[in-house]
Amino acid sequence: MSVSPAAPASVSAPASASAPTQAELLDFVRRAAADAGLIASLPLDPEGRTWVRLDGPGGSEAWLIGWPPGTGTGWHDHADSVGAFMTASGELKENALAVRLPTDGWTTLELTEGVDRERRLTAGQGRAFGRHHVHEVLNESTDRHAISVHAYYPPLPRIRRYSRAGRIMRLEQVERPEDWQ
């Protein structure tokens, strides 16, 4: 189930004449994650992720996302967008690569050892990330939803999805905004 209202929910994002920085995106997701009324407004589904689009700062794309137990994103990146996300409730695990992958011209890569990073993010914890950041986000709980807030700038031009078997990473699919909105 997905939920996306016609008009994005509003979390007082400061007006910005220029592109928001990673720090500004992180500040926005932190404030939104602390908004108890906003978090409580998200409908939760026992089986699938739910989401509501938010008004992000400076023309950014922002989302409030509900994660049922045992769900995740799979490996992906956000192409040329920088971003930030914050856990509002529950706990999320982020597996990420500490290296930048080439952006185009490949379908299979062998990763070197030592490139994996793992973070556990409980309520009130989050992070910002740069362009082409490859990661997966998971709710490993067996009995509790997690809720998080995400923001990206520029608005997501595409998401590249990957599969991973050990050290082998494969580009599987490229999604465009019309695929998820």
- CA 29, 88, 31, 94 torsion-angle sign: negative
pTM for the structure as a whole? 0.87
Per-residue pLDDT for 141 more than 70? yes
- In Å, how far are 42, 91, 95, 106, 122 from 140, measured between CA atoms? 20, 8, 12, 31, 12
Could you report the per-residue pLDDT of 68-112, keeping only the tens digit for each?
Answer: 999 999 999 999 999 999 999 999 999 999 988 887 888 999 999
Amino acid at 95: N
In tens, the pLDDT along 3-52 reads 333 344 545 444 446 899 999 999 999 999 999 999 999 999 999 999 99
